[in-house]
């Protein structure tokens, strides 16, 4: 991923298809919320963002491989959750290769500019528009079971009313143990890395950002929220004043903001495992039936019962392995 050249690389698309592509050109690219190296590249005449770990950087800091894996896992999950109409509010992973000597992720070119510039000039109407767009974006990620982990001005882009969340390097999956992180605005549970990832984890960071949007720099030096405007307290107190299990969801918060709660068609990626799980459970139940007492019939019955069980287990295992490779 170095130099101005045409490079042929193997990669796997989010759909699971393995292909060789030609990457043309290579220009340095920086976003304030990214730790990974990035370049703007062209594939088939279109421009993409390429995040990667160079050999030198990986040798200096092996943690970079984990950040790239986080980006790929989150991007693959989001892509599989919204296969028909991908929401423009989210950075879109197109292809990746985690096993290459210099592993990389290829994403569609981002839209807009870092939100830290425009947000300082927002009027009241634009602030409300931003609030709705931010919570709607987290509604999309939470539906897919993805927690960004570093929501803030550095990971958001703004384009004439359209918000986009990028840099999923700190992303986690709902239900996994929380990891330690250093991003500003993380919830108390995230900061302490206790318990399991919850879809509402990112709402704390969103609330911090919304409060800063209204109060400016004074928000950081005045943690006491009792003097905040009534509308702001009414919106954010349920987030700040509760443990994660009692905080409102993104969907509930969006209702309070009178935002658009209609989402593009969603597909549950875990549904692929349903048939395999049901097969396993059915065979396991059959296996638990006591063997007949007749001595002559016992060996034949066991043979018929054990063979389907092993075959089914193999089928389930192959399905899980194949799916894991694609993701």
pLDDT, residue 269, reads 86
CA distance 205 to 182: 13
> Could you tell me if 182 and 205 are in contact, meaning their C-beta atoms sit under 8 angstroms apart?
no
Sequence-separated (6 or more) residues with CB below 8 Å from residue 131: 210, 213, 235, 257, 259
pTM > 0.95: yes or no: no
Nearest to 201 by CA among 186, 211, 213: 186
3-state secondary structure of 243: coil
> Could you tell me if 77 and 272 are in contact, meaning their C-beta atoms sit under 8 angstroms apart?
no
CA distance 118 to 80: 32
**Residue spans of beta strands (DSSP E) within the chain:** 6-13, 18-28, 37-43, 46-52, 93-97, 104-108, 113-114, 146-147, 156-159, 162-165, 172-173
pLDDT, residue 318, reads 36
pLDDT, residue 117, reads 83
pLDDT, residue 284, reads 56
CA distance 240 to 4: 49
pLDDT, residue 216, reads 84
Provide the phi-psi class of 131: left if phi over 0, else alpha when psi is between -120 and 50, else beta.
alpha
Q: Would you state the structure tokens that stand for residue 309, as one six-digit string?
A: 């069980």
Nearest to 173 by CA among 155, 156, 149: 149
Sequence-separated (6 or more) residues with CB below 8 Å from residue 69: 98
CA distance 59 to 111: 32
Distances, alpha carbon 207 to alpha carbons 64, 133, 151, 224, 240, in Å:
29, 13, 10, 14, 8
> Could you tell me if 202 and 141 are in contact, meaning their C-beta atoms sit under 8 angstroms apart?
yes
CA distance 62 to 64: 5
**How does pLDDT run along the chain (327 residues), one tens digit per residue?**
554 678 899 999 998 999 999 999 778 899 999 999 999 999 988 999 999 999 999 999 999 999 999 999 999 999 999 999 999 999 999 999 999 999 999 999 999 999 988 888 889 999 999 999 999 999 999 999 999 999 999 999 999 899 999 999 999 999 999 998 878 888 999 999 999 999 999 999 999 999 999 888 778 767 788 889 999 999 999 999 999 999 999 999 999 999 998 989 999 988 765 555 556 556 656 655 555 554 444 443 333 333 333 333 333 333 333 333 334
pLDDT, residue 221, reads 66
């Amino acid at each position: 991923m170095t130099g101005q050249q045409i490079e042929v690389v193997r990669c796997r698309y989010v759909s699971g298809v393995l292909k060789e592509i030609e990457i043309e050109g290579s220009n340095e690219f920086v976003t304030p919320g990214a730790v990974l190296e990035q370049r703007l590249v062209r594939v088939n005449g279109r421009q993409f963002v390429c995040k990667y770990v160079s050999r030198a950087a990986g040798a200096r800091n092996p943690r970079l491989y984990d950040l790239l894996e986080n980006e790929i896992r989150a991007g693959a999950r989001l892509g599989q959750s919204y296969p028909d109409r991908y929401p423009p509010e989210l950075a879109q992973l197109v292809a990746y290769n985690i096993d290459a000597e210099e592993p990389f992720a290829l994403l569609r070119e981002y839209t807009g500019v870092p939100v830290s510039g425009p947000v300082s000039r927002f009027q009241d109407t634009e602030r409300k528009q931003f609030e709705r767009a931010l919570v709607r974006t987290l509604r999309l990620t939470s539906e897919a079971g993805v927690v960004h982990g570093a929501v803030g001005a550095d990971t958001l882009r703004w384009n004439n009313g359209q918000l986009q969340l990028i840099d999923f390097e700190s992303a986690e999956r709902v239900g996994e143990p929380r990891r330690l992180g250093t991003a500003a605005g993380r919830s108390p549970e995230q900061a302490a890395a206790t318990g399991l990832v919850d879809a509402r984890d990112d709402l704390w960071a969103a609330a911090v950002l919304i409060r800063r949007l209204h109060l400016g720099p004074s928000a950081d030096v005045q943690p006491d929220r009792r003097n905040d405007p009534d509308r702001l307290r009414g919106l954010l107190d349920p987030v700040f004043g509760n443990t994660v299990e009692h905080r409102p969801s993104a969907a509930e918060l969006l209702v309070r903001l009178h935002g658009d709660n209609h989402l593009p068609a969603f597909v549950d990626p875990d549904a692929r495992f349903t048939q395999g799980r049901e097969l396993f459970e059915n065979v396991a139940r059959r296996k638990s039936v006591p063997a007949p007492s007749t001595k002559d019939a016992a060996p034949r019955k066991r043979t018929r019962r054990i063979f389907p069980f092993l075959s089914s287990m193999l089928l389930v295992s192959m399905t899980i392995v194949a799916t894991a490779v694609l993701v």
